[in-house]
Amino acid sequence: MNKEEKYDLVLALTEQMKEYGNFYITDTSDLTVAKVNNIRRQCFDADITMQVAKNSLIKKAMEAAGGDFSPIYDVLKGSSSILFSKSATAPAKLIKLLRKKSDKPILKAAYIDSAIFVGDDQLDTLTKLKSKEQLIGEIVGLLQSPAKNVISALQSGGNILAGVVKTLQERG
């Protein structure tokens, strides 16, 4: 790979990091071509983009993307593949599914909306993350609940409230 191709790859990785906002770095070393192709096919089906790149180029792309990726730099050793996805949990779920048949891919690190998860032991945590939309929905539901209770109480006690208002008017 010449200098221009490396530059183009770093640029493409940087753009993907910015575009997706979520990426996982995995170890797929020692897998056969057939197994890697199977992983690529499953990534495609799950709307995940898989890219294999040298660690030095991945590091340059992270530096160019901005932000603090320094905790990830330590895991950039050996063979690395990057999984990009709009969904924060889709790559984790796919890795977990693939691990039922093989001991790879191994999760090295994940970057989810500025949060960094390092190590394969984080896989279960990543599969249980809620999306931004799910969290917003829960917050809206919690905020609506008290308002619904007040409205319900006013509607059920509407006759009593009207009687109290009428009594107060008659006294005045």
Mean pLDDT, to the nearest integer, of 61-65? 91
How far is it, in rounded angstroms, from Cα 91 to Cα 64? 23
pLDDT reported for residue 172? 63
Same domain membership, residue 91 and residue 141: no
Same domain membership, residue 138 and residue 106: no
| Total count of domains within the chain | 2
pLDDT reported for residue 78? 87
pTM for this structure?
Answer: 0.75
CA within 13 Å, CB half, 106: 16
Same domain membership, residue 37 and residue 9: yes
Mean pLDDT, to the nearest integer, of 80-103? 90
Domain residues for the domain of 161 are 132-171
Q: Give residue 155's pLDDT band: very low, low, confident or very high (50, 70, 90).
A: low
Mean pLDDT, to the nearest integer, of 70-76? 91
Express as a percent the part of the chain with pLDDT over 90.
36
Same domain membership, residue 87 and residue 20: yes
Same domain membership, residue 70 and residue 26: yes
